[in-house]
Structure 1
Amino acid sequence: MKKYIFILLLTSFAFGQQTPASKQTKSILILGGKAHIGNGTIIENSLIYIKDGKIAGIYDGTMVKPAKHDTVINASGKEIYPGFISPNATLGLVEIDAVKASDDESEMGEMNPHIRSIVAYNAESGLVEAARPNGILIAQITPRGGRISGTSSIVQLDAWNWEDAIIKENDGIHLNWPRSYSQTGWWAEPGGIQPNKKYDEQTTEIQNFFNNAKAYAASNVTVKDIPYEAMKGLENGTKTLFIHADGEKEIIDAILFKKKNNIQKMTIVGGYYAYKNAPLLLENNVSVLLRRVHDLPILEDEDVNLPFKNAKLLSDAGVLVGLENMGDMERMQVRNLPFYAGTCVAWGMDKEKALQLITSNSAKILGIDSNYGTLESGKSATLFISEGDALDMKTNKVTTAFIDGRQISLESHQTELYERYKEKFQSGKVTE
């Protein structure tokens, strides 16, 4: 009996990521660009010095004479931004949704705080490569599934492997809060809304798990329990508890849960109705990573523009808010993150405040603001230059990008195809 071996080459795997850039060895001066600092301020004619992977200085070019540097980049007429940050992302965990072998975003079981998404992160994912040309240079790699999905980590998007990519390892634990209601039907024919009869039972299960973890941490056991070990850090703020919840009741219950369990740092992820609880969020120092802006309302009788206004409502109330992108085709959609912020501008938010939604605010929420999120002296030189407004899909064109002072490649499978077919059409060898 003959045996045949078939080899399937998947397009996304066939085109590997560009070779990561080498460590910065020469000093760089970026001259004349309009620098958006990321904290609400702008320097119209800036001088930015980059040395040893850090911003060695940033000045108003009308006040300071530029010093000599090994490399000079003329950014006159262009815009300079801090690298954009994508929280709650599954980049590098799934390559092709329809190919099960390339999907490593979740594990079996309900309580999985010990599942570390970072060890499954594929730094050579084509989707990582596709996000960088729109200025997304940092991401929080986050697991999915279960009641407690696992532990996330934060990476920069130009690396050989996950060890090279790490910015902050094991930054937080992700808890999917139960819904107090359920909706019948399906997306094309939604049915009615009915109470979740198991809501109290499900929240009790969460509390019991936290009680057991607390008791374990206080004991002197000699045999380690890996899930309970992973819970350590929530009590002293070295880890953040990210609670995924959208409903008004769920968010209130999550805040009460934080107080009861003395959780030091907590963030609501999703937060569709968080604006209704803004005073409570502010009082308890709870931040929000707001669900995808380009979305439909949850209920059919709501303001159709509520998803566009949500960030401004929270920001105006004083809540620390960033943007995330969980949902359908979320890995492919990460590259649209800056345009979500742009939509917030179209619905009344100040442009520099909207920029903070994907730079300094997200950096604060993720606990990396000491080194990322703004263009400031002493911080990482993770930034990019665009020929236009980076929050506007019509004008944004990233020409140069740096991660920790390393000038990275902006090529991708898409740019290869563009150059290929541009040459074909320019040559006139096109048949109808």
Structure 2
Amino acid sequence: MKFIPLYICAFLVGILSYAQQTPAPAQSQEIIIIGATAHLGNGEVIENSVIAFKSGKLTVVASAEEKNLDASNAQVIYAEDKHVYPGFIAPNSTLGLVEIDAVRASDDEDEVGSFLPHIRSIIAYNTESKVVESMRPNGVLLAQVTPRGGQISGTSSIVQLDAWNWEDAIVKKDDGIHLNWPKRFVKKGAWYDPKVGYKADEKYDEKVQEIYSFFKQAKAFANQPEALLNLPIGAMQKLFNEEQKLYIHTDAEKDILDALHFKSELGLKNVVLVGGKYAHKVADQLIEHQVPVLVARVHETPEADDDDYDLPYKLPRLLHEAGVLVGLENSGQMERMNARNLPFYAGTVVAHGLEKEEALQLITLNTAKILGIDKQVGSLEVGKDATLFISEGDALDMMGNILTHAFINGREISLETHQTELYERYKKKYAEQK
């Protein structure tokens, strides 16, 4: 008799305990949701709604008082006093690229080098991530998986969060290239130093010229067969063919203006500003250049001493009122775990002056438009993917965001996670001790 070595047993047990729930099977039966308040994601609300979907697509979105459906062969969900929302979208996220920060082998968010447009984040995306799994109970059902580091970090892709592998997960492959614009002024001193200030980066102009040089070289080879011989240059061709977007990550007013000038000089069409902590100061120029903004995490303190204390909270409203297309992103400290708080960021924006349905658009239809996936997802409209969820209350409020059902492409997905399993385990333990 052969005995399996102990370390192999430990490895197998670890794999089993690590695995995510089995992805849901394809929708096989029509599903009808009756009686819920439907928040369509485009600013509209249907108080007493009927929503039907079949083969993963929405077929009916209407008032229950005006539409009678034959439910004889359908699964019916009665959702009176509940709310239906389109799945929330987390852009500029490293979900699935890092599992444990302290374990280098689980960290795939960054690559060695500076100009890396050929690095594709989707190849490293881990559908088995427990962090990804924990997004779904809060209604975050889609994400833009984005690399970090370097001057050009690489290429992002958009995924849905219930899949066997990265091929299954793809909603839009290689949607855009991410450029980290240099900072004209950088912080001096440690972040915890109360006297931390700013100093001019003496190499700012040199770094900008390097970006210009690389992009001009790539543009010169646009549609040329020899471009494929150089991986970084070849990876830029879809950008100049307008098949991809350029996401420019920068915050300061003058840096944003320099980035807009760069856009004009290179003749770039599909450009998105990411971060934009001072974008409200150049809102007119953003509108002129037709550049939308994925606003930095609103749950932050002000950047400068003379900023309004509530600037991060009200920035999305300021940009929206100026006429800029706005979405919310979540990069920063503990960004993967905090991505599940995306709906509550939108709720914070409501508390600082934006109408609730407008704030909902910041994490649904607006973001879908910015990412170029609004024909598929982002709102509850006939013909779009049935990616949605039912909540017991207001999904933008921590007390109301309690999901009862969630669907991706019509597939009813599990809302269980390792966290809910631990909750149930210890709840049972302490109940038995009473």
Shorter-chain-normalised TM-score: which range?
Answer: over 0.9
Q: Which runs of 5+ in 1 are unaligned?
A: none
Deviates more, 1:222-231 or 1:302-311: 222-231
Describe the superposition over 1:363-401 as per-residue Cα deviations: whole angstroms up to 9, x where unpaired. 000000001000000000000000010000122101100
Q: Helix, strand or coil: the match of 1:260? A: helix
Q: Helix, strand or coil: the match of 2:112? A: coil
**Contact 1:13–1:126 under 8 Å retained in 2:** no
| Mapped partners of 2:324, 2:198: distance in 1 | 29
**Contact 2:228–2:234 under 8 Å retained in 1:** no
Aligned partner of 2:299 in structure 1 is: 294
Which residue of 194, 201, 207 maps to 1:202?
207
Q: What percent of counterpart residues are identical?
A: 56
* Map 1:261-340 → 2, pairs under 5 A: 261-340=266-345
Q: Does 1:185 align with 2:160?
A: no
Q: Does 1:47 align with 2:47?
A: no
Aligned partner of 1:395 in structure 2 is: 400
**Contact 1:325–1:333 under 8 Å retained in 2:** yes
Q: CA deviation at 1:13?
A: 7.9
Corresponding pairs, count: 427
**Contact 2:222–2:240 under 8 Å retained in 1:** no
Which residue of 78, 94, 101 maps to 2:98?
94
Q: Partner letter of residue 232 of structure 1?
A: Q
TM-score after normalising by structure 1: 0.96
Q: CA deviation at 1:215?
A: 1.6
Q: Partner letter of residue 171 of structure 1?
A: D
Aligned partner of 2:83 in structure 1 is: 79
**Contact 1:156–1:403 under 8 Å retained in 2:** yes
Aligned partner of 2:3 in structure 1 is: none
Q: Partner letter of residue 150 of structure 1?
A: G
* Map 1:180-259 → 2, pairs under 5 A: 180-189=184-193, 190-217=195-222, 219-221=224-226, 224-259=229-264
TM-score after normalising by structure 2: 0.95
Q: Which runs of 5+ in 2 are unaligned?
A: 1-5
Aligned partner of 1:34 in structure 2 is: 37
Change (3 A) 1:304 1:10: farther
Q: CA deviation at 1:225?
A: 1.0
**Contact 2:37–2:47 under 8 Å retained in 1:** yes
Q: Does 1:171 align with 2:175?
A: yes
Q: Helix, strand or coil: the match of 1:86? A: strand
Q: CA deviation at 1:10?
A: 10
Aligned partner of 1:378 in structure 2 is: 383
| Mapped partners of 2:224, 2:427: distance in 1 | 66
Q: CA deviation at 1:402?
A: 0.3
Which residue of 132, 139, 150 maps to 1:146?
150
| Mapped partners of 1:221, 1:342: distance in 2 | 50
Describe the superposition over 1:95-118 as per-residue Cα deviations: whole angstroms up to 9, x where unpaired. 011111110001000000000000
Describe the superposition over 1:223-275 as per-residue Cα deviations: whole angstroms up to 9, x where unpaired. 61111111012223210000000000111111111111111100000000001
Q: Helix, strand or coil: the match of 1:379? A: coil
Describe the superposition over 1:154-201 as per-residue Cα deviations: whole angstroms up to 9, x where unpaired. 000000000000000000000000000011111211522111111110
Q: Helix, strand or coil: the match of 1:175? A: strand
**Contact 2:344–2:397 under 8 Å retained in 1:** yes
Q: Does 1:159 align with 2:167?
A: no
Q: Partner letter of residue 43 of structure 1?
A: I
Aligned partner of 2:353 in structure 1 is: 348
CA RMSD of superposed structures (Å): 1.8
Which residue of 418, 421, 426 maps to 1:416?
421
**Contact 1:234–1:264 under 8 Å retained in 2:** no
